[in-house]
């Protein structure tokens, strides 16, 4: 098969006699067709493993001339399944990010907001939702979207509780108002909100496909963390009348992230890849 090379066959000494193991280098663009061929042979999904290897040294093109680059739908689906549930690590990170972001809103520190964006893992369920929508997997999309909403609610609740405690203990200055924060402009809906969220959705999906989600996650969270933390601080300090704009901005950002992310993945999946074969 084009895109598969260096096939090695050897006995499987870890199992009963007669078992055989095959190893091969597979280009990402060939992964989806290979999985289909394996399934046609009647081989169970429990009997093979695909893993991406990070190449350090320069590599010339393989059989099809594309090397390790390329889009593999099976890889994207695997990542989506793994990130569609609210695991303990996800909940821990989202709450840590909420504390940092809430303090950032209170003290008007843009650096703390950036730190919260770096910690927040909200990019993963956003992209998993896009994968579920494009694949027509309603259960995956709904599960990932629920995980995203759980995370955003956790940010709001944590920020609200923290700011309420600080206000109750007198740590916050008398007469503190959330709209006094220099970050108040981040919860105003205008053309820049739409453009940033739309561009962030494209970047989110491209990074999710390439495994660079951790690096790009900071940019994506600019559309979610400030608004959700601001909303929590507003609720915790009695500024409920100022929470409406934050809710609107957060909702618009999430919708645009999912919409543009899904369109990006749709183009990646159905347009011909570099080997000329649809994926």
Regarding whether 36 and 91 lie in a shared domain, the answer is no
Regarding whether 127 and 30 lie in a shared domain, the answer is no
Regarding whether 85 and 1 lie in a shared domain, the answer is no
Regarding whether 45 and 153 lie in a shared domain, the answer is no
Backbone angles phi, psi at 212, to 5 degrees: -100, 25
Regarding whether 154 and 178 lie in a shared domain, the answer is yes
Residue 135 lies in a domain: yes
Domain boundary among 32, 48, 66: 66
Regarding whether 215 and 197 lie in a shared domain, the answer is yes
Residue 144 lies in a domain: yes
Cβ-count burial of 62 within 10 angstroms (0-12 exposed, 13-18 middle, 19+ buried)? buried
pLDDT of residue 135: 87
Q: Tell me the DSSP string of 232-274.
A: HHHHHTT-GGGHHHHHHHHHHHHHHHHHHHHHHHHHHHHS--T
Residue 161 lies in a domain: yes
User: What is the DSSP code (8-state) at residue 173?
Assistant: P
Residue 279 lies in a domain: no
Regarding whether 57 and 80 lie in a shared domain, the answer is no
Residue 230 lies in a domain: yes
pLDDT of residue 140: 92
How many domains is the chain partitioned into structurally? Answer: 2
pTM for this prediction? 0.77
CA distance 145 to 143: 6
Backbone angles phi, psi at 26, to 5 degrees: -125, 125
Regarding whether 147 and 238 lie in a shared domain, the answer is yes
pLDDT of residue 279: 37
CA distance 35 to 112: 45
CA distance 145 to 193: 21
* Parent domain of 229: 73-270
Domain boundary among 20, 48, 66: 66
Regarding whether 111 and 16 lie in a shared domain, the answer is no
Regarding whether 259 and 173 lie in a shared domain, the answer is yes
pLDDT of residue 278: 38
Residue 106 lies in a domain: yes
Domain boundary among 66, 89, 122: 66
Residue 277 lies in a domain: no
Nearest to 253 by CA among 218, 220, 223: 223
pLDDT of residue 36: 87
* Per-residue pLDDT tens digits of the chain, which is 279 residues long: 888 888 999 887 776 667 888 899 888 778 888 888 888 999 888 888 888 776 666 555 544 444 445 567 777 888 888 888 888 999 999 999 999 999 998 988 888 988 888 888 888 899 999 999 998 889 999 999 999 999 999 999 999 999 999 989 888 877 788 877 777 777 788 888 889 889 988 888 888 776 555 556 566 777 888 889 999 998 888 877 777 888 898 999 999 999 999 999 888 777 655 443 333
3-state secondary structure at position 137:
coil
Regarding whether 189 and 149 lie in a shared domain, the answer is yes
Positions of E strands within the chain = 4-11, 20-26
Helices 213-221 and 191-210, packing angle to 10 deg: 170
Regarding whether 164 and 106 lie in a shared domain, the answer is yes
Residue 235 lies in a domain: yes
pLDDT of residue 129: 94
């Amino acid at each position: 098969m084009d895109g598969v090379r260096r096939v090695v066959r050897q006995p499987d000494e870890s199992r009963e006699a007669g078992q055989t193991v095959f190893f091969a280098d597979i280009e990402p663009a060939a992964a989806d067709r290979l999985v289909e061929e394996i399934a046609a042979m009647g081989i169970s999904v429990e009997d093979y493993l695909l893993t991406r290897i990070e190449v350090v040294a320069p590599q010339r093109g393989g059989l099809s001339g594309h090397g390790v680059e390329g889009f593999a739908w099976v890889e994207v689906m695997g990542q989506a399944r793994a990130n569609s549930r609210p695991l303990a690590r996800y909940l821990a990170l989202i709450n840590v990010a909420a504390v940092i972001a809430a303090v950032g809103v209170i003290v008007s520190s843009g650096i703390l907001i950036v730190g919260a964006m770096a910690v927040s893992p909200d990019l993963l369920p956003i992209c998993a939702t896009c994968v579920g929508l494009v694949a027509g997997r309603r259960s995956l999309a709904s599960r990932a979207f629920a995980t995203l909403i759980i995370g955003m609610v956790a940010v709001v609740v944590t920020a609200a509780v923290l700011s309420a405690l600080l206000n109750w203990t007198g740590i916050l200055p008398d007469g503190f108002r959330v709209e006094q924060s220099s970050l108040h402009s981040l919860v105003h809906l205008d053309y820049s909100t739409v453009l940033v969220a739309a561009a962030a959705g494209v970047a989110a999906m491209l990074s999710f496909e390439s495994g660079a989600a951790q690096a790009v996650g900071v940019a994506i969270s600019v559309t979610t963390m400030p608004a959700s933390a601001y909303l929590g601080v507003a609720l915790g300090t009695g500024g409920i009348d100022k929470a409406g704009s934050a809710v609107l901005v957060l909702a618009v950002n999430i919708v645009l992230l999912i919409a543009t992310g899904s369109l990006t993945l749709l183009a990646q999946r159905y347009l011909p890849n570099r080997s000329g074969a649809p994926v």
